[in-house]
Amino acid sequence: MITTGFGKLDELLGGGIRGGMITDIFGPSGSGKTQLLLQICVNSLVHGRMILYQDTTGSFRPERLIELLKAKGMDPKLLDKVIVGRITNTVEQLKYVDKILEIENLNLVVIDNITDLFSFEYSKESNSLTKHIAFMEYMHKLAHVTIKKQIPVVVTNITRKSDDEERESLSRSISMFTHQKISLIKTGQKFSAQVFPSFGSKKVANYIITHNGLEDLP
């Protein structure tokens, strides 16, 4: 199990991120999804094993990960244990599922952002059905490998406003294959997280975003 470094969220998760499961972190832009992902990476590196970081948006910043390592008093050289794949199309994204089986001593797989390339390549309204089918085939393969390897897979996904309601991108298709969902909610300058299903007694964890990442609201 890998802790998130965000105490109240770990309570809701029953201790942290579990192996053999896909955990979906979703929320609007600016809610701290990538920050939380990096925190999970740092806590995974405590175990001294490898991470496969799949970056579909070009947003990975190694210097930010080094900052978080230093903040926890950890050796910045642990960055060498993070294999970063810059993915530019859905064909590459599908191939990277096979890499999970190839890498030895793997402790964690992260995918930031999981739906972005599918939404871009199948952007026309007429391609909506094709997009969902292609994405579900991808998720089916990812879920199979996750269970086979029994390692944690953590993905991020965006939400967008539709009819005055925040909706997760490809919500129905992704929800069929994810085992746990973390919803990050941004209301003005206030942030809160919910977990589905929740293992803790509290249903909502309020947080702030600081230089050290997501932290419990004082």
pLDDT value for 126: 84
Burial track 105-121 (b if 16+ CB lie within 10 A, e otherwise): ebbbbbbbbbbbbbeee
Fold of the 7-213 domain: Rossmann fold (3.40.50)
Q: pLDDT value at position 125?
A: 84
- For residues 93 and 117, the answer to whether their CB atoms sit within 8 Å is yes
pLDDT at 31 (0 to 100) = 95
* Alpha-carbon torsion angle 48, 113, 161, 215, nearest 10: 20
pTM: predicted TM-score of the whole model, two decimal places: 0.94
For the stretch 120-126, contacts whose Cβ atoms lie closer than 8 Å and that sit 24 or more positions apart, written own/partner, are 121/89, 121/90
Angle between helix 33-45 and helix 62-71 axes, rounded to 10 deg: 60
User: pLDDT at position 199, please?
Assistant: 65
Cα distances (angstroms) measured from residue 171 to each of 115, 157, 178: 10, 9, 10
CB 21 within 8 A of CB 152: yes
pLDDT at residue 190 in the model: 94
Q: What is the pLDDT of residue 161?
A: 77
Report, as ranges of residue numbers, the positions in the chain whose pLDDT lies below 70.
Answer: 198-202
